[in-house]
Structure 1
Amino acid sequence: MDMEQAYLAVALENFRDIKRMGERVLAQLNDEEINVIPADESNSIAIIVKHLVGNMRSRWTDFLTTDGEKPTRNREAEFEGGYPTRAALKEEWEQGWQMVLETVESLTPDDLLKTVTIRGEKHTVMQAIQRQVVHYSVHIGQMVYIGKWLKRDRWQSLSIPRGQSQAYLEEMLKRSEKEKLDKE
């Protein structure tokens, strides 16, 4: 595998990981909780998802041939309302992520240095992908924080729970050693 193909594989896996993290947050929340706005000038998880989906539709539709900020996008409306149910949110979430993943899967190594625009600003395809990885990660991090705030002591950790770092490290080292021995 050449470096360009490896980059596309890593970018695709990054997007899948970001999506899974968001889904693990959503799995812990009910319809009411997804719409809680934690503070003035903050967004609910539903609004964050609405914004992500709007961004995904705009950026990934005709990715290589049109500006990533589509004239049909109403970004301001993404920060109003939300979703009445998790089911409605989930349907939009899946549609948005499907656009992202299918577009990235369709790219070839020859596409990476092509130029695309976002709001008239030129980016290589690689830069545009990285821009979205960062953007989506920031918003998923916001969702995690809001979810932890809502659930408090009922929150199920999405990574290594506090106080378990050493045990986790030891388990990973054991697994690595086993894989090494299995290869021999």
Structure 2
Amino acid sequence: MLKAVSQLDDKQLNWRPNEFSHSISTLVRHIEGNIIERVSKGILNQEILRNREDELKHTFVSKSELEAIIEERIQLIIDTIRKISDETLEQKQMVRNRERTNLDMLHQCAAHFSEHMGQIFYIAKQCLKEDYKSTSL
């Protein structure tokens, strides 16, 4: 995500193809909301309220703010996974009225992030065209 975001300016990061689509800034804020809900609240048992509707509203966010969100939240996931015990992985959290293990939620988060990262890369390619530098390793 950082490789894609670093190639764009504030205007491009907040651009969306139409009023029914999301911008990169909105997608990053949505991923952040998911991390807050599933990791901070669900796994780390922190008292946090997520406002999903607010994170999905088209709101201008600067490139530096987006980069900070990505770095901070991905680091939270890394730190959590490094420290998590097998017992904690098997603990359950309620997700949409259904019990899910923390391990299941980490897998779900990875799939969810992957979907939105694909959208982010596609938007970046639309904005940059032939100037887009691949994020592949």
Q: TM-score range by the shorter chain?
A: 0.7 to 0.9
Q: Does 1:127 align with 2:109?
A: no
Query: TM-score scaled by structure 1?
Result: 0.66
CA–CA separation in structure 1 for the residues paired with 2:43 and 2:116? 24
In structure 2, distance between residues paired with 1:99 and 1:26: 19
CA contact (8 A) 1:57 1:99 kept: no
Name which structure has the greater RCO, CA cutoff 8 Å, separation 6+.
2
Q: Paired residues, what number?
A: 137
Q: Distance in 2 between matches of 1:140 and 1:64?
A: 23
* 1:14 aligned residue: none
Alpha carbons 2:23, 2:58 under 8 Å: kept: no
Based on CA coordinates, which of the two structures has the bigger radius of gyration? 1
In the TM superposition, residue 125 of structure 1 has moved relative to its aligned partner by 2.1
Q: Is contact 1:35–1:46 with CA below 8 Å preserved after alignment?
A: yes
88-97 vs 135-144, which deviates more? 88-97
Given that 1:66 and 1:116 are in contact with CA atoms closer than 8 Å, whether structure 2 keeps it comes out as no
Counterpart-to-counterpart distance in 2, 1:65 and 1:146: 33
**CA displacement at 1:66 relative to structure 2:** 4.6
Whichever residue aligns with residue 103 of structure 1, its letter is T
TM-score (norm 2): 0.87
Q: 3-state SS of the aligned residue for 2:100?
A: strand
CA distance in 2, matches of 1:101, 1:42: 30
Contact 1:65–1:116 under 8 Å retained in 2: no
5+ residue gaps, structure 1, are: 1-21, 161-184
> Which residue identity lines up with residue 57 of structure 1 in the other structure?
I
Percentage of identical aligned residues: 26
Give the equivalent residue in structure 2 for 1:40.
19
Alignment of 1:127-166 (within 5 A): 127-159=104-136
Q: For 1:116, what is the secondary structure of its paired residue?
A: strand
Secondary structure of the residue that 2:18 maps to in structure 1? coil
RMSD between aligned residues:
2.2
Separation of aligned partners in 2, 1:127 and 1:92:
24
Match of 1:60? 39
Gaps of 5+ in 2: none
Q: Say if 1:91 and 1:135 are closer, same or farther in 2 by CA, change over 3 A.
A: same
Separation in 1, partners of 2:134, 2:40: 34
**Could you tell me whether the CA contact under 8 Å between 1:24 and 1:158 is conserved in 2?**
yes
Q: SS at the partner of 2:99?
A: strand
Contact 1:46 1:83 in 2 (8 A): yes
Cα pair 2:16 2:22 within 8 Å, conserved: yes
The answer to whether 1:100 aligns with 2:77 is yes
